[in-house]
């Protein structure tokens, strides 16, 4: 299996478990070769709640917050540990309590082959409706585990060229013009900025940003605009200000208005709140120009890959986004980013208590490593 020391270093064995109190000592002689039959010991799931502390108060069209509840997961198989995470911003309806209730139902003991991804993820999905983030936390840990067993990162297993990763945008929340300007200065390394609009000071926000930078901007309205003609007028103005696309300008329920806006807009219109998982794609054909895929919405990496390939077949633009998350879930999403036209993978950069190191942003570009699985190590 090549260099065993490197394998141990990258497999998570050396980093150990985040969920067990003591460092693991089961490696060495107790560790069976991964080249043996794939029918090994049963898969074991562990999880614990954690709270992410945000560096800044984060304000979007309809709420503000300073922390985000997450659930950290691990799946262990033959001494190898895969890491996963559920990020649960309150407006999406999941919480430590709902994720705990869901994950307690998960019994992986009947699965002894982690490569049966389709069976295992289908089993997880069938346990209950909703719970997309909790489901994603199992899916991500499973993908990390499988990648570590194969000693390959997922972008390689998917056949993606890591030179094609996009630049990631960096999100500027709503604030006063002075604070917005200082946030732009902090975002120096980023080549594209994402601006949250949808209140009554949209032009003021853009004008403040344009007074300090000429970088391309993307705009996320989070369903904040109520009138389609006003939205179209604003989009024309934003196009003149160097904005490259608009995300979820109006309510996800305003399907006719959205289709009209997409037909008439000079800029691509991306669906975020309007599209959760792969089954939603057919119903938004011609209503939006593209989709923002997030692991926490669609239930994980397996569905995200299906969504990205299906959106491309439908001729839609693809964006990969995230919630506020540790580098665990962000790195998992980044594995898919060579397929994306745009990426918004800054969630780990907005928190002060990240437990992982993983995907890097170098000169604004998402930069994947050769680390196997989702490409993370415990800090």
Q: Which residues bind Mg ion (CB under 5 A)?
A: 220, 247, 272
Phi–psi pair at 215, nearest 5 degrees: -60, 150
The encoded tokens of residue 230 equal 């006003």
The residue among 78 and 346 lying less far from Mg ion, judged by its C-beta, is 346
The residue among 74 and 272 lying less far from Mg ion, judged by its C-beta, is 272
Q: Which residue is nearest to Mg ion (CB)?
A: 272
The encoded tokens of residue 67 equal 């922390």
The residue among 292 and 327 lying less far from Mg ion, judged by its C-beta, is 292
Taking the complex as a whole, the smallest distance from the CB of residue 194 to Mg ion amounts, in Å, to: 8
Taking the complex as a whole, the smallest distance from the CB of residue 61 to Mg ion amounts, in Å, to: 10
The residue among 102 and 225 lying less far from Mg ion, judged by its C-beta, is 225
Taking the complex as a whole, the smallest distance from the CB of residue 272 to Mg ion amounts, in Å, to: 4
The residue among 98 and 222 lying less far from Mg ion, judged by its C-beta, is 222
The residue among 139 and 220 lying less far from Mg ion, judged by its C-beta, is 220
Please give the distance of CA 210 from its chain centroid, rounded to a whole number. Answer: 28
Taking the complex as a whole, the smallest distance from the CB of residue 294 to Mg ion amounts, in Å, to: 8
Instruction: Write the DSSP string, 14-34.
Output: TT--SSSSSPP---GGGS--T
Which helix or strand (DSSP H or E) is residue 361 part of?
strand 360-362
The residue among 139 and 272 lying less far from Mg ion, judged by its C-beta, is 272
In DSSP terms, 321 is beta-bridged to 294, 344
Contact 48, 83 (CB under 8 A): no
CA distance 258 to 252: 8
The encoded tokens of residue 287 equal 């209503």
Taking the complex as a whole, the smallest distance from the CB of residue 222 to Mg ion amounts, in Å, to: 6
Neighbours of 37 (CB within 10 A): 8
Contact 85, 355 (CB under 8 A): no
Taking the complex as a whole, the smallest distance from the CB of residue 206 to Mg ion amounts, in Å, to: 17
Contact 112, 41 (CB under 8 A): yes
What's the 3-state SS for 210-268? HCCCCCCEEEECCCCCCCHHHHHHHHHHHHHCCEEEEECCCCCCCHHHHHHHHHHCCCC
Q: Which of helix, strand or coil describes residue 66?
A: strand
The residue among 76 and 272 lying less far from Mg ion, judged by its C-beta, is 272
CA distance 356 to 371: 13
Taking the complex as a whole, the smallest distance from the CB of residue 136 to Mg ion amounts, in Å, to: 17
Taking the complex as a whole, the smallest distance from the CB of residue 60 to Mg ion amounts, in Å, to: 8
């Amino acid at each position: 299996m090549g260099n065993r020391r490197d394998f141990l270093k990258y497999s998570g064995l050396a980093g150990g478990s985040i969920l067990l109190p003591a460092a693991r000592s089961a490696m060495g002689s107790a560790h069976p070769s991964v080249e043996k039959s794939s029918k090994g010991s049963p898969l074991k799931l562990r999880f614990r709640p954690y709270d992410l502390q945000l560096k800044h108060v984060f304000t979007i069209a309809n709420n503000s917050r300073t922390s985000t509840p997450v659930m950290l997961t691990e799946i262990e198989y033959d001494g190898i540990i895969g890491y996963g995470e559920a990020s649960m911003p309150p407006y999406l309806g999941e919480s430590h309590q709902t994720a705990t209730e869901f994950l307690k139902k998960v019994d992986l003991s009947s699965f002894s082959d982690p490569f049966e991804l389709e069976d295992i993820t289908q089993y997880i999905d069938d346990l209950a409706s909703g719970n997309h983030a909790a489901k994603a936390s199992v899916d991500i840990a499973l993908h990390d585990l499988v990648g570590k067993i194969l000693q390959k990162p997922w972008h390689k297993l998917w056949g993606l060229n890591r030179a094609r990763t996009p630049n990631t945008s960096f999100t500027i929340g709503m604030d006063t013009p002075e604070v917005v300007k200082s946030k732009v200065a902090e975002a120096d390394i980023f080549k594209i900025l994402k601006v949250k609009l949808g209140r009554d000071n949209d032009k003021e926000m853009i004008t403040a940003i344009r007074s300090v930078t000429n970088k391309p901007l993307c705009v996320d309205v989070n369903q904040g605009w109520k009138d389609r003609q006003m939205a179209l007028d604003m989009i024309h103005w934003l196009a003149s200000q160097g904005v490259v696309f608009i995300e979820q300008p109006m309510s996800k329920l305003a399907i006719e208005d959205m289709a009209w806006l997409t037909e008439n807009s000079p800029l691509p219109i991306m669906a975020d709140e309007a599209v959760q998982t792969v089954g939603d794609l057919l119903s938004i054909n011609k209503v939006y120009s593209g989709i923002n895929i997030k692991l926490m919405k669609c239930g994980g990496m397996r569905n995200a890959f299906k969504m990205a390939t299906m959106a491309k077949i439908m001729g839609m633009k693809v964006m990969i986004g995230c919630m506020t998350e540790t580098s665990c879930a962000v790195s998992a999403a980044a594995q898919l980013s060579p397929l994306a036209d745009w990426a918004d993978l800054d969630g780990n950069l907005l928190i002060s208590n990240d437990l992982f190191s993983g995907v890097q942003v170098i000169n604004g570009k998402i930069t994947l490593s050769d680390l196997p699985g989702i490409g993370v190590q415990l800090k």
